[in-house]
A and B are shown apart, each in its own frame.
Chain A
Amino acid sequence: MLCATSRLLAARAASALPAHPRGRGPAPRSRRRELHFPGHPELPPGDLLAGRFAGPSVSTGRRAILRRGRMPPAAGGGLAGSELRPRRGRCGSQAARAAGRDVATETATARSPKRPAPLSSRRFEAAGRWALLALVTLTSFATRFHRLDQPPHICWDETHFGKMGSYYINRTFFFDVHPPLGKFCAFLGSMLIPLAYLTVLELSRSLPAALLTAALLTFDTGCLTLSQYILLDPILMFFIMAAMLSMVKYNSCANRPFSAPWWFWLSLTGVNLAGALGVKFVGLFIILQVGWNTLSDLWHLFGDLSLSMVTLGKHLTARILCLIVLPLALYIATYAVHFMVLNKSGPGDGFFSSAFQARLSGNNLHNASIPEHLAYGSMITVKNLRMAIGYLHSHRHFYPEGVGARQQQVTTYLHKDYNNLWIIKKHNSNSADPLDPSHPVEFVRHGDIIRLEHKETSRNLHSHYHEAPLTRKHYQVTGYGINGSGDSNDFWRIEVINRKFGNRIKVLRSRIRLIHLVTGCVLGSSGKVLPKWGWEQLEVTCTPYLKETLSSIWNVEDHINPKLPNISLEVLQPSFPEIMLESHLVMIRSSVWTSFFLTTFLQGNNGLKPKDNEFTSKPWHWPINFQGLRFSGVNDTDFRVYLLGNPVIWWLNLLSIALYILSASIFAVAVQRGAHLPVKVEGLSQVLLRGGGQLLFGWMMHYFPFFLMGRVLYFHHYFPAMLFSSMLTGLLWDTLLRLCAWSLASYPLARCVHVLGILTLLLGTAYSFYLFHPLAYGMVGPLAQDPQSPMAGLRWLESWDF
């Protein structure tokens, strides 16, 4: 990714020197001259040339181009040479060229070149930019790889994501923190910073803004901590940022559609989207953002009457191919690999349907062969279709006094057990043993009245007008009768969903409902855990509400009937699309993608079991850095790591969002009121409104949806949004300082304002990092309340717990 970017940039830099393409004004170069910082040695030679040859070539396309939403340059006084030169022949910022043109005519006539600069400084400047990028990258790698091996034990979420990693590698439950995996995460975490740097550079065309962003992210303890552990977040954030960068890049290529770089960035966007979605569902938000960007892009193209419908069709097709078909194909391919690798039975089995389990080796359904159709006399287990409910179960224990009738309990149970076995009998005949070989086989059909006899206790599945133990509005379900003889309350009608009467009932594939004949209620499980008398199994009820919900639908899983021929389950195995669908449904229905694994894997008590309200937090906590997350270390003497953002940076980000909204609204209102802004200010306002707008949108897309989620939320969910808000901060402060410098332009040292401002921010963040770095690299010693602690005086909020 990085290599590709850099090679391309190199190519651009190399090709930047030759003559301008026809029809494009040489304007920006002359503008640069005007903006340069007095005493700055490197005046790009391009400027000189432009200044010399700049004729009165007034552009025709400025309005049109601005309207089409391309990014204009950051104009205004400031660090000379800090703005990227628009690149000819490549996808440069179109508006950068355009917006400068008007200025060009003014300045070219108004001033003459101050002094010629050596041609080599051109190359020198390019090299300087490269050095800066290298520096940024190096710093980020240095901070992320520093003390990567500490602490040597497992931290918080690593327990499950690490396990998943080892899952893939060993296909067993053996667990060890694999160093390569840790380094991989740190590598991706480090890559975030150059990506953010390049994105801001592309959006603002201003090196200081990009540098500030990079510093904010490098020196943020939260990002640092998150990158040092084996978690999914660095991977997710990497894909999000990569998608954002490639989107911004392909926006810049819009003036040269269907060129190689255009295709490259467009398809790279697609690839990164697939990656983001494949890691976590949170990746969906960046997809929405790219989708929105694409739609507005298409909308602009559609309004351009110079484009024929055929061209528009091509544009549309290209986007569908690269942004929908390509990611989808990659996503599905990932799943195919996932299912091929994970083909062994494990603790997650119970969550999946019987048919799904059949393809896991080690599961008793794998390669099993059982009779296909249910017949009277068959011994079966019945599984609820809702996830994590389990098998219909009964045992030799009665409901306690005061809980409905004192009859045998019926529950659901998640594990395989002899007490899950039931025998299907005809409702009216008990005498003739259906397993008697002389008897002909009689299949159970849709709509038949049956009786289910519990094999171990010979009691019938029974229901009556007593309220269920926990769900008061439902009826109680019990085991009743002796040796299979009970009463008419033992009769159930068996129905297959979406079938006609008289059809046979298939093992695994048929979705059945059991309807109580007398009361007309439906057998279901409420999913509530019974108290101790019920062995903490789940409650089974008969619900009088006939709504079709999954908790009242069952399927037959095991089936034993010696009189019927066994068929291999292979034919019953679901196809790949069905597997895809089911595993997604399971993930969505468990609604807690993370806690799905947490509950599965953290059963063993490792002392860090998340109980509600302990590690979880509310979305409004996040931007204000209200409360961190304890990564490792419990006692005061332990080596402790605490996931908390660098408060200086986070609060600066928060302030910047407010400031951004304020300044952007001022500009928007001014434009709407028809105010005529000076050209430089207009350029800056375009950066603010367009570039900043995209970043603000990204922040909102990655933050606000969490308010709607009912799931368990953790502090680290905010980090993708935090990346966007840091980029916004960089862009905003650079622009504001440039505006300041511009408004003070009459004073002698006005331009220092920009330099000083940026330097102050850079040094400030670096210093705050110096203060707070123990949060990420680990602290030993007493807690921060104690004056002896290394962190004494830094506990600025009561809620911080380090």
Chain B
Amino acid sequence: MLGFLQHPVMVTAEVNLNMVALTAMGLLSRLWQLAYPRAVVFDEVYYGQYISFYMKRIFFLDGSGPPFGHMLLALGGYLGGFDGNFLWNRIGAEYSSNVPVWSLRLLPALSGALSVPMAYEIVRELGFSHCAATGAALLVLIENALITQSRLMLLESVLIFFNLLAVLSYLKFSNSQKHRPFSPRWWFWLVLTGVACSCAVGIKYVGVFTYLLVLGVAAVHAWHVIGDQTLSNVRVLCHLLARAAALVVLPILVYLLFFYIHLLLLYRSGPHDQIMSSAFQASLEGGLARVTQGQPLEVAFGSQVTLKNVFGQPVPCWLHSHQSTYPMIYENGRGSSHQQQVTCYPFKDVNNWWIVKDPGRHQLVVNNPPRPVRHGDVVQLVHGMTTRLLNTHDVAAPLSPHAQEVSCYVDYNISMPPQNLWRLDIVNRESDTDVWKTILSEVRFVHVNTSAILKLSGVPLPDWGFRQLEVVGEKLFRGYHESTVWNVEEHRYGRSQEQKERELELHSPTQVDISRNLSFMARFSELQWRMLTVRSDDSEHKYSSTPLDWVMLDTNIAYWLHPRTSAQIHLLGNVVIWASASLATLAYALLFVWYLLRRRRRVCDLPEDRWLRWVLAGALCAGGWAVNYLPFFLMEKTLFLYHYLPALTFQILLLPVVLEHVSDHLCRSQLQRSLFTALVVAWFTSACHVSNMLRPLTYGDRPLSPSELKALRWKDSWDILIRRY
């Protein structure tokens, strides 16, 4: 029982002072004067507004990335006690005193600082020497672009942190695979790999490339496990299942968790509501929910409704009509029916109200009990304010001549009979007898006589149509498209028999209450879909660049300029490191191909274990660079230099690996080796020197004279700001 007392309690600690020193230097370089400048720097203006939304719990939609990164930044604000009251409108604006700048910038800075010891660990785990590992960490430490990026409220350094964490924990995992599979340590690193991958994806979509790389390497290793015939089938199966659970299922769950927290935090309606569906909006506090709360669920004959188009392109809008008629003759000489216009109108208006009428009866009120409208029923739609019926006929639409004109029927007593019967087609029905439901049902109106479908063509009408959007009866294309689908947004049961009363009723706001909650998965899938499809307009930028500019650092970004002096912050890398990292990648590729071809002819230059180490280092570092860089050539969005930083980090890790390889295997004599070491030392000194020279532009702490600035403009393509006095 008390046996443990018989032995002294021993704690044996091994402290790697290299790591400690590197961490300390990392922290120092990233946290030094973190709250300076106390002004909005570059993209802080962009992320800042979302932090404010989080603080105020207002729902927003940002197409640039999943919410985890924004949440992390907001966490900094939360810890610093930020109330969200700051107008993020201009780069360079001074922060007011309520903005906790230091704590907002703390998390990115910590991520940047911890990347330094992680670089060390990764190179160690790859099986290279302490010297190479220290070199990699020092290079990450003095890389100016990485310092700049991690000292601000930006997400790249956090992304890099999780990328490195994913690679590191995978390496730790695969190294413990050899000795002690299924030990706690093994599980820990395996699970951490999955979580880190998921975090990387959760910060920016580009994180998915690192995830795929890790998955790819894991798949190759798993294939070797399958081929290992010393393991029993059951054990192999366990190995595979463990990997699938930790590297596929777990990341998906964690990713969903981010959205869950995101939606949990943001429960108030806000400026981006319009983009979301009515059902989603109704699930937010305030906004549409206030209007739709307690509406009757089932649409009945006699219901008064507003109909929103589900597609909502170019803008979300409601089916609308008004007194004006189509012009007799259009500008191009074609004629119209001269009946009342039907359009789609992007604002709330009393003219958006329609009454669902049973063609067989004359009344416009709801019976008691209400008779619900079901899928397949034929209805007429009466425009509330003008009591005219929605109609379409074989007349070309004003701007889409291949489709039919839609109008509200005016009886001119000419040989043009009304054709105002529409069959209701509930698209998302579960059975063929489904009832038409407010907000939830997505419906199409199929014209009974011509089988045309009511559709938003999205073209703005000319002045005679008040620039509202054209609505047509589509005949050619009867397949499913969102522009032909509508849903009821506002709804109430009509009570008034007389037109005058009815108009009053239409003007009054809707009320009553039942609350309708969407499930998390429905909200998640809608939000994720909108985030991926939302389009940012006009994205030209002064500092945008192309991927080709990045490799040799032909471009930079001016982040901030002191309002009075010439102190300025630039995203500007250490040219020596960038160039030599690119060269190292090239050298690696050439050496790899050379070795590969020679091995194929049975000439083994490297011992087998060295070769495997060399391949793994290349797969992760050169591969990491490739997957984080090459996809940008296919992307159509505006690109900036900072998009290259994750790729650059992997490239930097490769640099000492290649150097060590050259020294160990290509330098044949001791003399050559010494010479090479001397060269490396000289090169590293120059990198430090360059880093020090660019330091004022990295930290922005010291104003420089115009001549100093000119002297720093080493490339013509660099944009360094020189004040004219």
Q: Which residues of A contact B (CB under 8 A)?
A: 299, 302-303, 305, 471-473, 532, 543-545, 547, 605, 607-609, 611, 613-615, 627, 630, 634, 669, 672-674, 708, 710, 783, 798-801
Contacts and interface: CB of A to CB of B under 8 A. Distances in A.
A673 B479 contact: no
Contacts of A471: 538, 540
B330 to A, nearest CB: 13
Nearest to A305: B602
Interface stretch (B204-212, B223-231, B647-655, B667-675): B223-231
Contact of A634 (B476, B538, B541, B542): B476
Given A613-B483, A672-B226, A801 B478 contact: yes
A430 B161 CA distance: 64
B608 interface: no
B460 to A, nearest CB: 9
Given A473-B540, A545-B542, A673-B229, A614 B600 contact: no
Interface of B: 223, 226-227, 229, 233, 236, 400-402, 451, 462, 475-481, 483, 538, 540-542, 544, 597, 600-602, 634, 636
Contacts of A614: 476-477
Contact of A669 (B226, B477, B483): B226
Contacts of B602: 305
Contacts of B462: 532
A783 B541 CA distance: 52
A598 to B, nearest CB: 15
Contacts of A673: 226-227, 229, 233, 236
Contact of B544 (A472, A547, A783, A798): A547
Nearest to B483: A613
A672 B634 CA distance: 36
Please give me the 9 A-B residue pairs with the lowest Cβ-Cβ distance, nearest first: A614-B477, A799-B479, A672-B227, A303-B600, A674-B229, A672-B226, A801-B478, A627-B479, A545-B542
A552 to B, nearest CB: 12
Contacts of A627: 479
A302 B479 contact: no
A97 to B, nearest CB: 26
Given A302-B601, A801-B478, A605 B401 contact: yes
Contact of A799 (B475, B480, B544): B480
Contacts of B401: 605, 607
A288 to B, nearest CB: 16
A630 B476 contact: yes
Nearest to B555: A547
A81 to B, nearest CB: 39
Contacts of A611: 400, 402
Contacts of A607: 401-402
A798 B427 CA distance: 10
Nearest to B597: A302
B540 A545 contact: yes
A627 B483 CA distance: 17
Interface of A is mostly: loop
A545 B541 contact: yes
Given A472-B538, A615-B477, 10 more contacts: A303-B601, A543-B540, A605-B401, A609-B402, A627-B479, A634-B476, A672-B223, A672-B226, A672-B227, A783-B451
A214 to B, nearest CB: 32
14 contacts: A299-B600, A303-B600, A472-B538, A532-B462, A543-B540, A544-B542, A545-B544, A547-B544, A607-B402, A613-B477, A634-B476, A672-B226, A799-B479, A800-B479
Contacts of A799: 479-480
Nearest to A544: B542
B640 to A, nearest CB: 13
A784 to B, nearest CB: 11
Nearest to A783: B451
A801 B477 contact: yes
Nearest to B546: A547
Nearest to B475: A634
A215 B1 CA distance: 81
Nearest to B225: A672
Given A634-B476, A673-B227, A613 B481 contact: yes
Q: Which of B226, B481, B544 has the most CB of A within 10 A?
A: B226
B89 to A, nearest CB: 15
Contacts of B601: 302-303, 305
Contacts of B483: 613
Contacts of A613: 477, 481, 483
A590 to B, nearest CB: 15
B406 to A, nearest CB: 17
B672 to A, nearest CB: 29
A672 B222 CA distance: 11
A472 B636 CA distance: 20
Given A613-B483, A674-B229, A473 B538 contact: yes
A801 B479 contact: yes
Contacts of B479: 627, 799-801
B226 to A, nearest CB: 5
Contacts of A669: 226
Given A302-B597, A302-B601, A609-B402, A798 B480 contact: yes
Nearest to A472: B538
Given A302-B601, A472-B538, A611-B400, A708 B227 contact: no
A605 to B, nearest CB: 7
Contacts of A801: 477-479
Nearest to A674: B229
Nearest to B481: A613
Contacts of A708: 634
Q: Which of A473, A547, A630, A799 has the most CB of B within 10 A?
A: A547
B632 to A, nearest CB: 13
A163 B601 CA distance: 56
Contacts of A798: 480
Nearest to A710: B636
B88 to A, nearest CB: 19
A223 to B, nearest CB: 22
A800 B400 CA distance: 23
A634 B450 CA distance: 12
A90 to B, nearest CB: 30
Contacts of B600: 299, 302-303
A302 B481 CA distance: 54
Contacts of A299: 600
A550 to B, nearest CB: 14
Contacts of A672: 223, 226-227
A613 B484 CA distance: 11
A672 B240 CA distance: 14
A372 B226 CA distance: 73
A615 B231 CA distance: 55
A545 to B, nearest CB: 5
Nearest to B425: A798
A471 B540 CA distance: 10
Q: Which of A472, A609, A673 has the most CB of B within 10 A?
A: A673
A613 B233 CA distance: 51
B202 to A, nearest CB: 23
Contacts of B538: 471-473
Nearest to A615: B477
Contacts of B451: 783
Contacts of B227: 672-674
Contacts of B226: 669, 672-673
A541 to B, nearest CB: 10
B698 to A, nearest CB: 25
A647 to B, nearest CB: 15
Contacts of A609: 402
A515 to B, nearest CB: 16
A305 B477 CA distance: 63
Contacts of B636: 710
A295 to B, nearest CB: 13
Contacts of B481: 613
B293 to A, nearest CB: 34
A710 B636 CA distance: 9
B251 to A, nearest CB: 22
